[in-house]
Chains A and B, each alone.
Chain A
Amino acid sequence: MTTETQDRAEESVVADDIAVPEAPESMPGLLGRKVGMTTVYDDSGRANAVTMVEVGPCVVTQVKTEQRDGYQAVQVGFIRAKKTNMPLRGHFERAGGTYQHVQEFKVSDLGDYEVGQELRANVFSLGDAIKVTGISKGKGFAGGVKRHGFAGGPKTHGQSDRHRAPGSVGAGTAPGRVWPGTRMAGHMGDRRVTTRGLSVEGVDPVKNYILVKGSVPGARNSVVRIEKQG
């Protein structure tokens, strides 16, 4: 990643000019938008598949306190909304903008946050262990082979119509029915998926993206939640 690091060093000089604010230490994660995947090399020449995620800027829309809400958390908004209904508009008023995606992060020290504060990619630093949650790509109505990894039937020896068949779904007269939860064909994907054990391979607070080592759930341009892990 020789060129990478050099590029970043140059950009951080630029960063001083635009003055990227310090990120609060206690912030455990942010919302982001998946940009896409690419390849990055480390100094030994090893190629790593990385996912670029545009993180934030997220804006603090509410600070939840122990006394008033029963727990401590920071509510952040991501991606400006063009249209918002009146109740939500009221809620967003002090944050100075309305947002499409709003989520909370539990935070240990509330002193670092105020409504309207902007959080950027520098919440994360190189090498952070993270997990990423997103909505996986929809696969439509998928059969057992694709959805559950069934082996399907034999390809040869006089088979017809059995190549991707699911096989038996249960016993005979007793129980006389199919057990609930039996794995069958059905809708696949388009559900909430969390990938754990990822790490941060690069951070650019000016262009406001991070590089995540490995893949991240969801299609390009989909919104993901990135959280630091222990």
Chain B
Amino acid sequence: MNPTEILKTRPTAQIDEFQPGDTVTVNMVIREGDRERVQAFQGNVIVGRYRDDKIPNPGSTFKVRRVSYGIGVERIVPFHSPTLESVKVTRRGKVRRSRLYYLRGLTGRHARIKERR
């Protein structure tokens, strides 16, 4: 037996199934002073996937990349974080590898991902 099996923890968030290349909106609860609000972060999944029939390990994360005001921003999100509220897929992307680090070197039109249908 390992601790993960014994604790049987699951992500508390509502997570859509997603794959690398998908565009997702990550909603996270952030605390401002004594007020809580939901902050959305929209971008491409560059590492990580989620399937309903596979519970991710407690320490596992996924990476979302977006270009904000001309500056690339990547966010590493733990699946099990209690501050993660939901992950919504807004667009399915067609990519040929599992880690899209090549996007870091590309800008503008070159950094586009084809839509999967």
Contacts and interface: CB of A to CB of B under 8 A. Distances in A.
> Do chains A and B stick together as partners?
yes
Interface of A: 1-4, 7, 35-45, 47, 50, 52, 207, 209
Contacts, number: 53
Given A2-B82, A45-B83, 19 more contacts: A1-B82, A3-B10, A35-B1, A35-B6, A39-B59, A39-B78, A41-B78, A41-B80, A41-B82, A42-B82, A43-B82, A45-B78, A45-B81, A45-B82, A47-B59, A52-B6, A52-B7, A207-B6, A209-B6
CB-CB nearest 10 A-B residue pairs: A45-B83, A52-B3, A39-B59, A38-B3, A39-B58, A2-B82, A45-B81, A36-B2, A36-B3, A38-B58
25 contacts: A3-B12, A3-B82, A4-B7, A4-B9, A7-B7, A7-B8, A7-B9, A36-B2, A36-B3, A37-B3, A38-B2, A38-B4, A38-B58, A38-B59, A39-B78, A39-B80, A40-B58, A41-B78, A41-B80, A41-B81, A41-B82, A47-B59, A47-B81, A52-B3, A52-B7
Scoring B4, B7, B12, B31 by chain A CB atoms within 10 A of each residue's CB, the highest score goes to: B7
Contacts of A47: 59, 78, 81
Contacts of B59: 38-39, 47
Contacts of A7: 7-9
Contacts of B58: 38-40
A79 to B, nearest CB: 15
Given A35-B1, A35-B3, A39-B59, A44 B12 contact: no
Contacts of B2: 35-36, 38
A204 B33 CA distance: 33
Contacts of B4: 38
A53 B58 CA distance: 17
Contacts of A43: 82
A88 B10 CA distance: 46
Given A39-B80, A41-B80, A41-B81, A2 B12 contact: yes
Nearest to B82: A2
A2 B82 CA distance: 7
B10 A44 contact: no
A50 B4 CA distance: 11
Nearest to B11: A3
Contacts of B10: 3
Nearest to A220: B2
Nearest to A35: B3
Interface string B4-38: 10111110100000000000000000010000000
Nearest to A43: B82
A47 B3 CA distance: 16
Contacts of B8: 7
Scoring B3, B12, B80, B84 by chain A CB atoms within 10 A of each residue's CB, the highest score goes to: B3
Contacts of B3: 35-38, 50, 52
Given A43-B82, A47-B59, A38 B1 contact: no
